[in-house]
Structure 1
Amino acid sequence: MPFLRNAWYVAAWSSDVSQTEPLQRTLLGESIVLYRDSLGRPVALANRCPHRFAPMDGGRVRGDALECPYHGLRFDRTGRCVHNPHGDGRIPAAARVASYEVEERYGAVWIWMGEPERVAVTPLPAFDYLDPQENETSTGYLLTRANFQLSADNLLDLSHFQFLHPDTLGSNQMASGTMTFDEVGETVWSRRVCRGEQLQEFVANAYGVPPGMAVDRWLNVRWDVPGLMSIEVGVAPSGIPREFGRMSYSGHFLTPETETSTHYFFAFGLPKAMGEAARTLVEYAVDGLMTPFKEEDLPMLEAQQCALGDQDFWQARPVLLSIDGAAIRARRIMDRKIATEQLEQQARIEQCEAEQGGKTPMPELTAVPIDCSALAR
């Protein structure tokens, strides 16, 4: 299954990328090394030295450059070799590693692994509640041994709370809640309203609900390409308008590691204007959710992946229910975008072949620009 490359993905939380220790991450099936230069700016390079293919993540950050641990060649943020300690110091023209566009926002380092010219026309969706300047935030991370779209399916349908998380997040009213789905451009919304709920202690405490009080709960999930999700949850005493209740906001970012594993980044944010309560609540949310996410969601997702094996989701002929409306919309958007990207790549290959005056061996399809001269070699 190909990955969508012309899209923003979270590579790491900002706090994980430093000026001293390079960080290795496998993203979209490729090994990437991340570090910060002397100005503190994040850098993302392919994790393979072009000399003898040593992994770069074992090297040292030297000012603005990353030094290969094997023979000491250094590469700057553009991937260009800027230092050769051997012989006369001459630097071969081919001494380069692939570099990637990065952006730091919402407490995360984002990476673009597609065509650089498309960066400017592909803005990030808004996650303003995670802006650390205005909000107290708390973050979490889990590695899931399942395809990233299985994780998106899981978050777009929260009816599973009643059955997979009965003692923490769920209630007996979850599955019977009313649902609506919207698709606006390439954004999908899943909205659920549960009335007369008896919340579990963990959730009730987070929203300041006294024991035994019946509440109405609103759960809105927003999905954007490729797996950037925002969840809004509102709780108010039953019959009281939503605006008089309490809201929480969380971001959930799904980045493929491989076809069958996913980096799952999640975070909560609340305005600093709330004072110390904001810090307490966001930490409570992440700490409390880590257990059900890790002990209930992850095993289920991994079991699903094991059951699917190498089979494509649609080839497995899933039975669809009304609760799948948002997940199916998101999958179809991704299918269309990947198919379009592959067709565009094919057209570029054919154009290059025509310019060279004949057929050449077909390179592996990627979304990076093709150097036509390379096809003649």
Structure 2
Amino acid sequence: MKRIIGLILCISAASQPAAANSLLDWLNEHRPSQAQQQTQPADSAQLLTLEPRQTEMYPRLSPNGRFLMTLSSKGKQAWISRRYSENGDPANPVSDDDRALDSAGWLDDGHVYYLSERAGGLGLWEKISDGEAMQRRIQSLRGMITQPLLLPDQSIIAVRLKSARRSNNNDHRISKAGTKESFNNWSFPGFQTEIVRFNSDGSEKVLSAGVNPALSPDGKWIAFSMATGRSMHLFRMHPDGSELIQLTDSRSEDVQPAWSRDGQWLLFTSNRSKPDLRHADGGQWDIWRIGTNGRNLTQLTSDSARDGAPSMGLDGKVYFHSDRKISKEQRARHQLNSGSVSGFHIWTISAPVESQSTTN
């Protein structure tokens, strides 16, 4: 009997390493390869603007890439400023009109357009970008209008807000410059949003639901963001509303699209790396890039702070705003020894020429 028990123990002891080796082989065989695991991209963003007790948001590059328009705020004051894109230094204030804060855009290298109620009614106006000289009204508008685009034929693409409740209130102040809420320019609680084309002859056409319209460099496409359930996805369509194409499809919020200068890419803001669909601006917000064919999705920035509102320069450099922490070295580099630097500032990062893609 003892011999039988001893024989069993010997067989069991000899079989354990074999079983263990088999298990390790199985685990190694089924372990995901390094190429299959999604890795966070290296974030080499550089701080561009830094003024004491001041914030800068929503960078927009001039057509020639020399200047940058930003939404600037200090205390209770807010204005549109023009800066040099090379170093972020201020050139001049453009406008402190309340309605201009969420609507300023470049008409050409020397002129800008913006919404204003200066003549007793809402309209789209233009002026020289140095902030001086005359101002001309391009077209009168009606309703709660924001985020306008001026087309080459002088027609206007804009977002119109319609109250989701029965109300006669047509005075909705959209801009929240200098506050935490100013990061989110795609969610308007209590309102429905639609993208409308206002023709120069006074006629208009509703093109689609959505927000954040952006005109392609050749003027043939409008990229925008539209809600589907709790998510926000990127779409594109022609300026007449035809050929609607969905580009992203994820349980996340993809907003604030901007075109690359060659028209082949769309930059956008997204919380897809760490989505939070229960809160309008929850999750981790980073800058992403996707081809206009809906392929080659790439993450450009990765930081726990809020990165948003991308814009691309002629050299492929991406400008965006972020409320990242400012280091002592960055303060010293901008010759700022005192004063609060919390809040949003303009940062830059170079878009990769080639990068590994992920699913969208």
User: Higher relative CO (CA 8 A, sep ≥ 6), structure 1 or 2?
Assistant: 1
Structure exhibiting the larger radius of gyration computed from Cα positions = 2
- Range into which the TM-score falls when normalised by the shorter chain: under 0.3
TM-score normalised by L of structure 2: 0.25
TM-score normalised by L of structure 1: 0.24
